[in-house]
Amino acid sequence: MFAQSLVFTNAPGSVSTPSDQDIDIPLYVVNTSANPIDVKVRRMSNDVATGHENYFCWDVCYETTTDVSVGHLTIMPGDTNTFFKMTFLPNGNTGASSIMYRFYDKNNPTDLIEYTFEVDATTTSIGPDIFKPNNVLSSPYPNPAKDFTYLDFELNPDVMSAEVRMYNLIGKQVKRESIQGIDGKLRVDTRDLMPGVYFFYMIVDGQEVASRRLIISR
């Protein structure tokens, strides 16, 4: 049985794309443990229709023939990593493809999580919004922070409401900021907070979609 220190926040489900269009499909990985994890990626299976190809980006972007990332990315406790994407290349060919990727702790390979991408390449264009951009929250900067920290955000155009909530280590909400617009920057005043570890959560239409960790030191 696999350990579950890693979870996904935006599993895309089945995706369709015209056979003449490449598509980038992101996947966000969250470290739910109390320790940093050095995460590597492996393509476990590549059951693709004739003519289909795919490659992935993690620490770098790899060739279509590469199955395992050479390097790793460290995900801090409570942080969400948004670097992964699989690029699917139909190359003008129709059909359904299934590709499984594994994300695992390089120091404890049994601590892992897997996801299977299901992609259907069709002959008919299904419009420009085949796969809408995901809601993104950057890591806070500077981090550690003293008086202020900043968060960049990007939202889907159809989002109705969004906000960022900040909690301390015992789970008490200490700040709440509404997000206006579909992209921009939040400035968070930390002068009234004690030094320590805090967590940001981005809530979009009532659902948590991203989390970030902040250290305040003086």
pLDDT in tens, 132-160: 456 788 878 888 899 999 998 988 888 89
Asked if 202 and 72 count as a contact pair (C-beta separation under 8 A), the reply is: no
- 193/88 same-domain check: no
- Of 122, 157, 192, the domain-final residue: 122
- 102/206 same-domain check: no
- 98/141 same-domain check: no
Residue 128 in domain: no
Q: How far apart are CA 72 and CA 195, in angstroms?
A: 30
Q: State the average pLDDT for the chain.
A: 87
How many structural domains does the chain have?
A: 2
Q: Of 83, 79, 59, which is closest to residue 70 (Cα–Cα)?
A: 59
Percent of the chain with pLDDT over 70: 94
What CATH number is associated with residue 209? 2.60.40.1930
- 38/110 same-domain check: yes
pLDDT in tens, 39-95: 999 999 889 999 999 989 888 788 888 999 999 999 999 898 888 988 898 888 999
Residue with the bigger pLDDT between 36 and 20: it is 36
Residue 131 in domain: no
Domain that holds residue 187: 136-216
Percent of the chain with pLDDT over 90: 46
pLDDT at 134: 66
